[in-house]
């Protein structure tokens, strides 16, 4: 069974940093892209970042470019989202999702349950 489990969320002050993890199981990890999508409280879905499969090409939304870094560790079947210079508007439930293929142009087919990030002083 394909599973994704996010962790690493929490309360952080504006300007602070956080690292989210997405632990994957049930599929050949290196063959699939992984995407982060966030959802602010009571709001809709916002694409954040994607990392492709074996070649690890990265893509970012303009709202996080230069502040967030996505990476993957195939030895741990885990994708990380390093978040720096956090702002109040980054407060959201962060989901990781598996792509249906290895490149950028595949839809996401399985989602985790999310981890909550709150940015507040």
Residues forming the site for another protein (CB under 8 A): 35, 37, 44-47, 50, 59-62, 95, 100, 104-114
> Coil, helix or strand for 111?
strand
Is 50:61 a contact under the CB 8 Å cutoff?
A: no
Taking the complex as a whole, how short is the minimal distance between the CB of residue 16 and another protein, in angstroms? 25
| CB of 16 or CB of 23, closer to another protein | 23
Return the sign of the alpha-carbon dihedral for residues 51, 81, 41, 6.
positive
Taking the complex as a whole, how short is the minimal distance between the CB of residue 107 and another protein, in angstroms? 4
Classify strands 115-119 and 10-12 as parallel, antiparallel or unpaired: parallel
| CB of 46 or CB of 82, closer to another protein | 46
| CB of 16 or CB of 67, closer to another protein | 67
| CB of 58 or CB of 77, closer to another protein | 58
Classify strands 58-60 and 45-51 as parallel, antiparallel or unpaired: antiparallel
Tokens in use for 115? 């981890």
Taking the complex as a whole, how short is the minimal distance between the CB of residue 24 and another protein, in angstroms? 15
């Amino acid at each position: 069974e394909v599973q994704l489990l996010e962790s690493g969320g929490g309360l952080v002050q504006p300007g602070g940093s956080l690292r989210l993890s997405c632990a994957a199981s049930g599929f050949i990890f290196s063959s699939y892209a992984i995407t982060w999508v966030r959802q602010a409280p009571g709001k809709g879905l916002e694409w954040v970042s994607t990392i492709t499969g074996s070649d690890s090409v990265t893509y970012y939304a303009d709202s996080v470019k230069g502040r967030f870094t996505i990476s993957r560790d195939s030895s741990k079947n885990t994708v990380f989202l390093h978040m720096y210079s956090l702002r109040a508007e980054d407060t959201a439930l962060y989901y990781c999702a598996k792509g249906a293929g290895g490149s950028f142009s595949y839809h996401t087919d399985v989602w985790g349950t999310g981890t909550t990030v709150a940015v507040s002083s």
